[in-house]
Amino acid sequence: VYLDHNATTPLAPEAAQAVRDAMCQAWGNPSSSHPAGRKAKELIGSARESLARMVGGRPEDIVFTSGGTEANNMVIHTARRHFRESQARLGDSWGTPHIVTSSVEHDSIRLPLEQLVKESLAETTFVPVTPRSGRAEVDDVFAAIRPTTCLVSIMLANNETGVIMPVAELSQHIHALNQRRAAEGLPRILVHTDAAQMIGKGRVDVQELGVDYLTIVGHKFYGPRIGALYVRGPGTTTPLYPMLFGGGQERSFRPGGSLMEPVWVFFPQAAELVSKNWEAYEAHMRDVRDYLEARLEASFGKQRIHLNSHFTGSKRLCNTSNFSILGPGLQGRRVLSHCKRLLASVGAACHSEKGDRPSSILLSCGIPYDVAQNALRLSVGRDTTRADVDMVVQDLVQAVTQLDQAQAL
């Protein structure tokens, strides 16, 4: 039973069916002017429209990328370069660009920023989440802003706890702050959110969020293993600088012809499914997730289940349950290795090589070390049923029984 949908999702059947059609009908190079090329270009335009509709933006605001990592790096690259060029144009000397983010971001945000700091190319503040809410609070983010701040990047929902961050409120405050900063001759603060985990599990509307950039990752919502970046008026209203140079695809913001085929084959169908059905998906996944947590407490006892993703006053993703089964010798990886049916993880898939070390994100949220060490992250999907949950809980019970018996010897 696959309960690791925050790591990746299977390709939607509708998208898989589109593969054969597109390979037969639209195999041309979209940069070519003949009919086969024009057909391919037309389908890329359709994909752009589908993604824009999914997030409430305009087609011209969508730039396709190889994935979320590239999209996130492009935003950081752009913010730093825009700061430098604005500084040179105005003849001011603001100093080193400063970026604000949270302590629980994906590595594709954290690691580029750490590298820039190491090379003395930028300064970064990692705002801790509060143990009470599991969120990076607006007041704490604002307290970190400096005159040299050029970017605030806060994820829309955390991949391990599922906690949803106050991005819309943050954007409103930064928009007001930018008006004051402009009058003072200070650089504009750009706002970015990584929406990889939220799309397909809840409402995502760039107008409501008020962000300048939003990262889209196809394989998190039953689409292709590529990504896109929403930019509010790329190159005009909002700066965007390429990291690659080549054939001129994507208006030269992101050249590379090999990227285009998965765009027109998979993306439109996956995005349309989200646009039409996200509310039904959300309701179904929340019901199954809540049933899972109720069954865990009923089977193990409330005193033995610690729900790591329950925070006072915070909303969380409809599909995500992060919990620990308390007791010695029940580290998450050991429990999963004794399961016969459950396919899940202890946290972010990109950290799967870190052994029994607890998740730094859970520790940041105030989860005690020994509890975090036992953590399991189960993320249900569109097709997960209550019967699947019953099998999973039964599987966990037999795994824990085995480990308890081994511990008693």
List residues with catalytic annotation.
350
Residue 248, sorted as left (phi over 0), alpha (psi -120 to 50) or beta, turns out to be: left
HSE, CB side, 13 Å, CA atoms: give it for residue 222: 22
Q: Are strands 123-127 and 320-325 parallel, antiparallel or unpaired?
A: unpaired
Residue 326 contacts residue 305 (beta carbons within 8 Å): yes
**Strand pairing partners for 322?**
377
Of the candidates 227, 177, 285, 268, the one whose C-alpha atom is nearest the C-alpha of residue 74 is 227
Q: Burial level of 233, CB count in 10 A (0-12/13-18/19+)?
A: middle
How far are the Cα atoms of 118, 232, 304, 318 from residue 325, in angstroms, in the given order? Answer: 39, 44, 6, 21
